[in-house]
Structure 1
Amino acid sequence: MAGNLLSIGKSGLFAAQAALTTTGHNITNANVEGYSRQGVVQATSTTMETGVGFVGTGTRVAEIKRYSDEFLNQQVRTATASTSSLDAYYAQISQIDNLLADTTSGLSPAIQNFFSSVQDVTGNGASVPSRQALLSSSETLAGSFQQIDARLEEIGEGVNSQIDTNVNLINTYGKQIAEINAKIGSYGSTEQRQPNDLLDQRDQLVVELNKYVKATVTAGSNNALNISIGNGQPLVVGQQAFQLATMKTPTDLTRLTVGYVTGDKVTQLPENALAGGELGGLLEFRTGTLDRVQNAIGRLAIGLAFTFNAQHKLGIDGAGQQGKDFFVQAPAYVAAAVDNTKTSTAKVGAVVSDPTQLTDSDYKIESDGASFFITRLSDNKRTKVDPYDAAGTTRSIDGVDFTLSGTAASGDNYLVRPSANGASGFQLALSDVGQIAAGTPVATNAPISNKGSGLISAGSVGAAYFTAPPALPVTLAFDSGAGGQLTGFPGGATVSMTFNGTTSTHTGGSAPFKAGASYSFSGVNVTISGAPQNGDTFGIHANTAGTADTRNIAALGALQTTNIFNGASATYQSAFAQTVSAVGNKTREVQVNASAGEALLRQVTGAASDVSGVNLDEEATNLLKYQQAYQAAGKVMQIANTIFDTLLSIGR
C-alpha cells in the first residue's frame, strides 16, 4: 500500500508541476500578440481492484488545453479584413478630397478667373492688355487641369507601389502558414498532442494575412489550415503555398494588377474579386474613385474645350479670318490588349461627339470572333454592334463615337477611356492675341428710312456659314400682303423659321413674318421683332467692324452659365462641384464606416480575448493553488515514505 501511496503522490506531484509550468508559461506570454491561454486538464488514473473494492492509483494530465474559440476567431479575421480595407481606402480618397476642395488655388477659382477674363474682353474689345490677360488666364486654367491630373497620376503610382508591397506580404504570410502547417502535421493528429504555441502562431499569421487580403479558412487534414482568397483561389493547401504576382494590365501597361501564378503562367484576377484587406481597399479605391475622378476632371476639360472651340470657330479674329480652336482637346485613350491575337486586323477608335451625354465611365470593347460588344464598365451595360461592317462601322454611345473595322478573334478586347486624358492634354491652342475670334462674321442694320417699328437682331452664324457662306449683302423686305411676308432670302437657300418653339422650313426666297420669329439660312441667324410696315427693309452684310466687335466673345462668356453636362443640366462649375461633392460624400462615408469597423473589431477582439486572453490575477491565484497542490502531493509522498520506513523497522 505504501508503494501505491507513493505512486499516487508522485502522480499528483507531476500534475501540479505541469500546472505550475503551464501557469508560468501563461504569465510570461501574457503580452504576446495572438497567444491563447493554456490550462492543464487532469483525469483520474485507472483504478485497481482489490477484491473489496476499487482503489485509486492517482491522477494523470489528460491534455494541455488551449482556450480558443474558432467562431470568435473567424469574426476577428473578418473584421480585420474589413477595417483594413476601409482604412486603406480612406487614406487614399482623403488625398483626392483635399486636392479638389482647395478653394484658393484649385480648379474652381481657375475657371472663375478664366471667364472673368473673357468678360473683360467683352467690355474692352479693342484692348490688347485685356486680350493678353485672357490668354494668360487660359494658360493658368490649362495648368490647373494638368496639375490636378498629375497629382492623380502620382496617387495612382502610389497605389501601384502599395499593390506590389501587399502582394509580396501576402506571399510571405502564405509561405509561413504552410511551413507551420508542416510543423504541426509532424506531431500527428492526436488532439491531446497538438502544439498549442504553433497553433497560436498560425492563427496570428492568418489574422495578419487578413490585414492585406480577405482570406477564407477551412480545416484540412492532419490539423492543417487551408487558405483561399478571391473567388476561391487557394493560397495555402496543407504544406503547399501558392503565389500571387503583380502584372501590368493588358490594356494599360502603366497600371499594376494582381495575377495568380500557376506553374509558369500568371492569370489576371478580377479586381472586384479581391475584396477585403488593404489590397482590396486599394483596388476598390482605384476603380471606384481614382478612375472616376480622373475621368470626371477629364470630361470637364474635354467639354470645356469642345464647346469653347465650337463657339470660337463661329467668330472672326482681328484679320477677319474664321476663328481656330481655342484649346487643344485631348483624344480618347484607346488601347488593344497586349495578348490579343496577333493576326487580328481589327481597329478601334473613339471620339467625343457630344459632351452633354458624356459619362465618367470607361468602356471595354470585345469580340466573340463574329461580333463586337461595347460594355460600359460603370454598370456593365453591354451593347452589341449590330449591324457591323468590317469596312468600317460607327456606333454612338454616351456622346462617344466608336469606330470599328476589320476582324478580331474571339477574346480580343480593347479599352476605351474617352476622358481619361482630357485634363492632362488640355492646353491653350492660340499663341497670339490677334487669333482671338471676338467678332461675329455678319452684321445687320435697319435703315432709318423704315416707317415701321420693326427691329432686326445683331445676327449670329452657325457652322454651316463657313462651309458654304451665302453671298452677302442680303436685304430682306417686309411685304404686308398674304398675311405678311419677308422676301429677299437667297433663292436657293432653305429658310428655317422658329416661332414659339415651332420650326418650319421655307424656300423660294421668302418666309412668313411673325414678330419675334427667328430666321436661319446658310448658317446665318437673325430675329426680327416689332411691327414693320410694307416695304421696310433689313440688311445683312459681312462684318467689317474688326476688333471693335465682341459679339462672339460675349457668346463665349455666356457658356459659363450654359447647361452643358449631364444631359444639359449642369454648367462647367456645377459639374465640377458635383464631382467635389461626390468625393466629399464618399470620403465621409468611408471615414464613418472605418470608425464603425474599428469599433466592431475592438468588440470582437475583446470577445475573443475573453476566451483566450491571459488574466494575470487569475494566473496568480492559480500559482498559489497549484503550489499548494504540489506541497500536498509532496506530503503524500513523505507519508508514504514514513509508512515504508515503519514497515522496514518492524521487519528488523
Structure 2
Amino acid sequence: MASTFFGLSIATSGLYASQASMNTTAHNVSNANREGYTRQQTVLKANKPISTNSSYGMIGTGVVTDSIIQIRDLYYDTKYRTNQAIYGNYSTQQYYMLSIENTFSEVNAEGITKSFDNFNLAMQELLKDAGDNAKRTQVSSMAAGFTELVNSMANTLEKLQGDCNEEIKVCVEQVNSLASQIASLNKQINTIELSGQNANDLRDSRNLLLDRLSVYANIDVSETTLDNGMSTIFTVRMDGQVLVDNYESNKLEVKPLDIYYNLGDIDGLYNVIWSNGQEFNEESSSLGGKLEALMQMRDGNNLENLSGAGDGKEGETVLTLTETSCNDISRLYAPAQKGVLTIGANEYQYSSFDCEVVNGKYTYKFHLTTSLSEDVAGKEVQVGKRVSTKGIPYYMNQLTDFVRTYASEFNAIHNKGQDLNGVEGVDFFTGRQANSDKQYEFAENLESFTFSSTVDPDTDVNANGNLSATYYSVNCKNFTVNNAIVWEPDKIACTQKIVDGISKNEILQELVDLKTDPSMFKQGTPDMFLQKLTTDSGTDAKKATTFTSSQENILKVVDSQRMSVSSVDQDEESMDLVKFQNAYNLSSKVIQTMNRIYDTLINGLGI
C-alpha cells in the first residue's frame, strides 16, 4: 500500500523532471550560436510503478529523467561530409586553375600571344630593309623578350607546383592532427559513457572534427556498440584504409622523392605514405577532397606520359621500349633522368635513356638502377604517372611542345640562309643547360637519328663550344635565343646567298610565313596553338569555378537540412521553456494542494 505522503513524492518527481528539461533548454539557448553544437533533449520516462495486489492494478510513482540525448540525423551527417569532400576538391582545383589562367592571361599587353606577335612584327619590319642594324637588333630583342616571357611563365608554373606540393604536406599534417584529436575524444567519450551518461558535448566536438576532416578526403565513419551496451568502437576510414581505430590513429607521412614523374617536375615532390608501412594510393579516384585535387593539379599530365611495349629479361638492367605512344621528339615528356617505369605492380627507376629513331619510329632503351625482377617481353610499360587531369605538368608540357616545334621549324629555315657576312646561318633559338650554362646546338635528321636523354657538359661539346643535342633537351624553362644572335644581330640570316643581294630576303620571308603555317601544330598555326592554350586554361578555370559554385550551393542545402534537425531553433526553445515552466507550476500546485490536505489531516483532524 502506498504511503500517505505518496502524492507529495510524485509531485516532487514532476518538479525535478521539469527542472531538468528547463536546464537542457537553457543549455540549448546558451549554445545556440556555437559552431558544431547539437540540440539536446531531456528524455523522461515513467518511474517504476508499485504493485497494490488489488483489482485496479499498479500505482504510478511519477516521472524520472532517463537521459539527455542529442537530436541528430546520421544520414545528413554522412551526406554533408560526402559533399564537403567534393567541395574541398573543386575549390582546390579552382584556386590552382585560376592561378594557371592568370599565368596565360592576355588581359594585359604582356601576354604570350602579344609577345609572339611583336617578334613577328619586328621581322616584318626587317623585311623592308634587311641591312638595317637597328631593325636587326629589334628582332633579336623581341625574340629574347619572347623567350624570357616563356621562361617566366614556366617559372611561375614551377613555383605553383611547389606551392601545391607544400600544401599536400600541410594537408597531411592537418589530417594527422584531426585524427589524433578524434582518437583522444573517443577515449574520453567511452570513459564517461561507461558510467551510463551521454557525453553529448564531447560528441559535438568529435562531429565537428569529422566535418573538418571530410574537407581533405572522403571518410567513412562507423560506431559499433559493444555487448555491455555502453562503450563503443569508433572507426574512421579514409579511402578504405583505417585512419582512426577507436583510441588509436594511424599517421600519414610525406617523403621527399629523389625521382621525377614528369619532364618539368621540381625537386623533392612529396610521396604520401602510411607510417605503419601500408601503401597510400595517391592516384585513387575515390580519395576525394583537397588531397585528391592537390595530387591531380601537381601531377596531372592529361594522360600524355610515354608508354609502350617492354622488352627485357629477368636480371637485366636495360629495358627496351617499342610500339610507343610518342614518336615525336617535340611531345616527348619523359624525365631525362631519375624517372620511374611501372610494369604491372612493379616500379623501376632509371638513370637515363637512349633513343633510336628510324624512319620516324622511336625505340627507347632505359638504363635501370636495379635489375628486372621478371621477364617483361610484350608487357605494357608506363613512364612516370598517368593522370587524366590537366594539371600543372600538362600546361608546362604544352609550352615545351610549342618551343620545341617552333624552334625546330624556325632553325631549319634559318640554317639554310647566310648572314650579312656570308656565313651559314646558326641556330636562332636554342636552350641553355642549367648546370653548365652552355648552349645547345642541333644537327639531327628528324627522321633518323639517335640521342641520349642526358648531355654531358664535358664530353658533348662541339667545335663551336656548344653542346651537341637534340630538341628533346629544349624545354620551356631553358628556351632562349642564341647568344651569337643577341651579341651580333648581323648573324640573322635573311637570304639564302648574300651574293644575290641583301634585299632578296627569301629566308626571312619564310621565317615570317611560319606564323601562318597551318600544318605546324595539330591546333593549326603557332598563333592558334598559343590562343588555344590560353583559351584552354581559361575554360578549365571557368569549369572549376562553376563546379565550385554549384557544389557550394549543394553543400548549403544539405547543411540547411542537417541544421533543421540538429541546430537550436530559438522560437522552438522559447515554446519548450513555456511548456516546461507550466509543467513545473502544475507540479508545484499539486504540492500546494497536498500540503493543504496534509494540514487538514494532521492539524484539523488531530490525527
Q: Normalising to structure 1: TM-score of the pair?
A: 0.68
Q: Specify the SS of the correspondent of 1:2.
A: coil
Tell me, yes or no, if structure 1 residue 423 matches structure 2 residue 427.
no
CA contact (8 A) 1:295 1:420 kept: no
Q: Does structure 2 retain, via aligned residues, the 8 Å contact 1:2–1:643?
A: no
Partner of 1:289 in structure 2? 391
Report 1:22-41 matches (<5 A): 22-41=24-43
Paired position in structure 2 for 1:489: none
Structure 2 distance, partners of 1:248, 1:161, is: 11
| SS of aligned partner of 1:260 | strand
Alignment partners' CA distance in 2, 1:421 and 1:208:
44
Deviation of the 1:266 alpha carbon: 8.3
CA distance in structure 2 between the aligned counterparts of 1:227 and 1:425, rounded to whole angstroms: 47
The yes-or-no answer on 1:314 pairing with 2:314 is: no
Instruction: After TM superposition, give the deviation of residue 197 of structure 1 in Å.
Output: 1.3
Contact 2:519 2:525 in 1 (8 A): yes
- Worse-superposed segment, 60-69 or 70-79: 60-69
> For 2:404 and 2:546, how far apart are their aligned partners in 1?
34
- Residue 134 of structure 1 and its aligned partner are, at CA, apart by 0.9
Aligned to 1:262: 275
CA 1:420–1:316: 2 relative to 1, 3 Å: closer
What is the SS of the residue equivalent to 1:254? coil
Structure 2 counterpart of 1:426, which letter? Answer: F
Structure 2 gap ranges (5+): 226-230, 261-265, 301-389, 436-441, 455-470
| Structure 1: gaps spanning 5 or more residues | 334-350, 357-392, 396-400, 405-417, 442-542
Amino acid of the structure 1 residue aligned with 2:181: Q
- The separation in 1 between residues aligned to 2:106 and 2:280, in whole angstroms, is 38
Q: Tell me if 1:225 matches 2:234.
A: yes
Amino acid at match of 1:183: Q
The one-letter amino acid of 2:183's match is A
- Offset of 1:575 from its aligned partner? 0.7
Deviation at 1:280, TM superposition (A): 2.7
CA gap 1:199/1:245 in 2 versus in 1, 3 angstroms? same
For residues 553 and 563 of structure 2, the distance between their equivalents in structure 1, rounded to whole angstroms, comes to: 15
Shift of 1:233: 2.4
Answer whether contact 1:145 1:297 (CA < 8 A) is retained.
yes
Q: Which amino acid aligns with 1:29?
A: N
Does residue 614 of structure 1 match 2:547? no
The aligned counterpart of 1:340 is none
Amino acid at match of 1:136: S
Question: For the residues of structure 1 that align with 2:55 and 2:445, how far apart are their CA atoms?
Answer: 104
- The question of whether the paired residues in 1 share the 8 Å contact of 2:41 and 2:69 is answered with yes
Residue 436 (structure 1) aligns with: 492
- Is 1:251 matched up with 2:264? no
CA contact (8 A) 1:131 1:433 kept: yes
Could you say which residue in structure 2 is the equivalent of 1:15?
A: 17
Paired amino acid for 2:589? K
Return the offset for 1:120. Answer: 2.1
Runs of 4+ residues over 6 Å off in structure 1: 330-333, 351-356, 401-404, 418-421
Q: Identity of paired residues, percent? A: 25
What's the counterpart of residue 5 of structure 2? 3
Give the corresponding residue for 1:109.
Answer: 114
Total equivalences in the alignment: 476
Deviation at 1:121, TM superposition (A): 2.2
Q: Which amino acid aligns with 2:478?
A: G
Which residue in 1 is equivalent to 2:460? none
- Say whether the 8 Å CA contact 2:67–2:198 is kept in structure 1: no
Q: Say which of 505, 512, 526 aligns to 1:572.
A: 526
Contact 1:246 1:258 in 2 (8 A): yes
Q: In structure 1, give the amino acid aligned to 2:217.
A: V
CA distance in 2: counterparts of 1:272 and 1:556, whole angstroms? 47
Q: Once structures 1 and 2 are overlaid, which stretch shifts more, 293-302 or 605-614?
A: 293-302
Distance of 1:94 and 1:102 partners within structure 2: 13
Please give the secondary structure, in 2, of the residue aligned with 1:424.
coil
Amino acid at match of 1:559: L
CA contact (8 A) 1:306 1:355 kept: no
Structure 1 pair 437/394, CA: closer, same or farther in 2 (3 Å)? closer
- Counterpart Cα distance in 1 of 2:118 and 2:24: 75
Q: What SS does structure 2 have at the residue aligned with 1:304?
A: helix
* Residue of structure 1 equivalent to 2:62: 58
8 A contact 1:319–1:546 mirrored in 2: no
Once the two structures are superposed, the pairs formed by residues 98-177 of structure 1 within 5 Å of their partners are 98-103=102-107, 104-177=109-182
How far does residue 419 in structure 1 lie from its aligned partner after superposition?
A: 7.6
State how far apart, in whole Å, the 2-side matches of 1:564 and 1:238 are. Answer: 63
Structure showing greater radius of gyration is: 1
C-alpha distance in 2 between matches for 1:297 and 1:27: 59
Q: How far apart, in 2, do the equivalents of 1:272 and 1:554 lie?
A: 52
Letter in 1 for 2:296: E
Shift of 1:332: 12
Q: 2 CA distance for matches of 1:421 and 1:228?
A: 45
Distance in 1, matches of 2:477 and 2:453, equals: 24
Task: Note closer, same or farther for the CA distance 1:261–1:17 as it changes in structure 2 (3 Å cut).
Answer: same
Query: In the aligned structure 2, how far is the partner of 1:236 from the partner of 1:276?
Result: 18
User: Which residue does 1:459 correspond to in 2?
Assistant: none
Question: How far, CA to CA, are the matches of 2:295 and 2:443 in structure 1?
Answer: 28
1: CA distance, partners of 2:43 / 2:600: 36
Give, as a single letter, the amino acid of the residue that structure 1 aligns with 2:560: G
Q: Displacement of 1:402 after TM fit?
A: 8.0
Higher strand share: 1
2:232 counterpart letter in structure 1: N
Determine whether 1:560 maps to 2:515: yes
The letter for the 2-side match of 1:424 is: K
Match of 2:291 in 1: 279
Deviation of 1:627 (Å): 1.2
Which deviations, in whole Å up to 9, do the C-alpha atoms of 1:239-286 show, x marking residues without a partner?
1111122222342362533412324x5856424457433333322233
- Per-residue CA deviation, residues 549-579 of structure 1 (Å, 9 max, x unaligned), is 4211111111111135544x52211111111
Structure 1 match to 2:335: none
The 3 A distance-change label for structure 1 pair 425 and 579 is: same
CA distance in 1, matches of 2:258, 2:129: 53
The Cα shift of 1:330 comes to 6.3
Local SS of the residue matching 1:594: helix
Counterparts of 1:571 and 1:10 in 2: how far apart (Å)? 91
Q: What is the CA RMSD across the aligned residues, in angstroms? A: 3.0
Alignment of 1:353-502 (within 5 A): 422-429=475-482, 430=485, 431-441=487-497
> Are the aligned partners of 1:220 and 1:238 in contact in 2 as well (CA < 8 Å)?
no
Residues 153-181 of structure 1: CA deviation (Å, up to 9, x unaligned): 22222222322222211111111111111
For 1:597 and 1:6, the matched residues in 2 are separated by 59
Alpha-carbon distance between aligned partners in 1 of 2:418 and 2:574, rounded to the nearest angstrom = 93
Structure 1 Cα separation of the partners of residues 62 and 203 of structure 2: 31
Q: Which residue is equivalent to 1:625? A: 579
Matched residue of 2:5: which SS?
A: helix
Task: Report deviation, 1:296.
Answer: 1.0
Matched residue of 1:33: which SS?
coil
Give CA-to-partner distance per residue, 1:495-537, whole Å, 9 cap, x none: xxxxxxxxxxxxxxxxxxxxxxxxxxxxxxxxxxxxxxxxxxx
Residue identity matched to 2:507: N
Q: Which residue of 1 aligns with 2:246?
A: 238
Which residue does 1:369 correspond to in 2? Answer: none
* CA contact 1:564–1:571 (8 Å) conserved in 2: yes
Whole-Å separation in 2 of the counterparts to 1:643 and 1:236: 61
SS of the aligned residue for 2:110 comes to coil
1:42 correspondence with 2:44: yes
Mapped partners of 1:2, 1:285: distance in 2: 79
> SS of the residue aligned with 1:439?
coil
Question: Match of 1:383?
Answer: none
Give 1:439's aligned amino acid: T
Alignment of 1:576-595 (within 5 A): 576-595=530-549
CA distance in 2 between counterparts of 1:633 and 1:353 reads: 101
Distance 1:353 1:648 in 2: 121
| Kept after mapping to 2: 8 A contact 1:394/1:402 | no
- Quick one: structure 1 residues 595 and 309, their matched pair in 2 at CA, closer, same or farther if it must change by over 3 Å? same
Q: Partner letter of residue 491 of structure 2?
A: Q
**3-state SS of 2:181 partner:** helix
